[in-house]
């Protein structure tokens, strides 16, 4: 996925859109409120992103590109690739822990949000493809690649979401998380 080149104004608007979604959710987010938070005229949002839907899509695209950049590509080093995957997801979950509940609660009933989420789904598919490659090489047990992905990152996303309710944010040993994942999924004997 090629990373979009955002200018300073667009970045401010995208940051404001995420902040607004954290405050009121995507459904109640307005371009007027986003413009106020970004310190720009509402017309700027329409010129740069076309519509609220375009703005939301751009926010998802930016986040997916950030994750893709930090995950990287297949290297042949299973442990290192898994560690980059979980570090990237843990970082994104930490940065976006206040917006994740809004996404999850609104995704089923918000067409704009579902459409924008295609960027995130494409990144999930790309990472699941890396896991599938390791499965095909015999390094990981065979299971549906999306299930392998969910097993790897799901606990981190869940912990990130519930951490909003905890008095102190949890610390996570990502090396240990990857080791536990491999204990259950690494092939015992090569094929």
Residue 75 pLDDT level (bands cut at 50, 70, 90): very high
Instruction: Say what percent of the chain tops pLDDT 70.
Output: 94
Q: Is residue 140 within 8 Å of residue 78, measured between CB atoms?
A: yes
Query: Are 58 and 16 within 8 A, CB to CB?
Result: no
CA 129 to chain centre: 16
Q: How many CA atoms are closer than 13 Å to the CA of 100, on its beta-carbon side?
A: 19
Q: For the beta carbon of residue 185, count every other beta carbon within 10 angstroms.
A: 19
Of 102, 113, 85, 119, residue with least CA distance to 161? 102
Q: Which CATH number fits domain 8-185: 3.60.21.70, 1.10.357.10, 3.20.20.80, 3.40.1260.10?
A: 1.10.357.10
Strand-pair partners of 186: 140
pLDDT at 191 > cutoff 70: no
Return the domain boundaries, the chain: 8-185
Query: In the prediction, which pLDDT does 91 show?
Result: 85
Whether residue 129 contacts residue 48, with contact meaning beta carbons closer than 8 Å, is answered with no
How far is residue 86's CA from residue 52's CA, in Å, rounded to a whole number?
A: 31
What are the tens digits of pLDDT across the range 107-160? 788 788 788 888 888 889 999 999 999 999 999 999 999 999 999 999 988 888
Residues 6+ apart with CB under 8 A from 140: 78, 131, 134, 148, 185, 186, 187
The overall average pLDDT reported for the chain is: 87
Give the pLDDT of residue 83: 97
By mean pLDDT, which of 69-78, 119-128, 172-181 is the weakest? 119-128
Taking residues 46-70, report their average pLDDT: 89
pLDDT of residue 82: 97
Question: Cβ–Cβ contacts within 10 Å for residue 101, how many?
Answer: 14
């Amino acid at each position: 996925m090629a990373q979009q080149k955002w200018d300073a104004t667009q970045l401010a608007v995208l940051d404001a859109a995420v902040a607004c979604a954290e405050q009121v959710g995507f459904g109640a987010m307005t371009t007027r409120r986003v413009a106020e938070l970004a310190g720009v005229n509402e017309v700027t949002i329409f010129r740069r992103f076309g519509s609220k839907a375009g703005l939301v899509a751009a926010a998802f695209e930016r986040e997916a590109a950030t994750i893709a950049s930090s995950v990287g590509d297949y290297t042949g080093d299973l442990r290192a690739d898994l560690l980059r995957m979980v570090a990237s997801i843990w970082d994104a979950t930490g940065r976006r822990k206040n917006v994740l509940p809004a996404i999850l609660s609104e995704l089923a009933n918000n067409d704009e949000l579902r459409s924008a989420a295609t960027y995130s789904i494409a990144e999930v598919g790309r990472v699941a493809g890396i896991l599938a490659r390791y499965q095909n090489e015999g390094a990981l047990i065979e299971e549906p690649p999306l299930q392998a992905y969910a097993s790897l990152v799901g606990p981190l996303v869940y912990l990130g979401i519930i951490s909003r309710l905890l008095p102190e944010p949890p610390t996570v040993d990502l090396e240990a998380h990857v080791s536990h994942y491999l204990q259950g999924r690494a092939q015992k004997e090569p094929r």
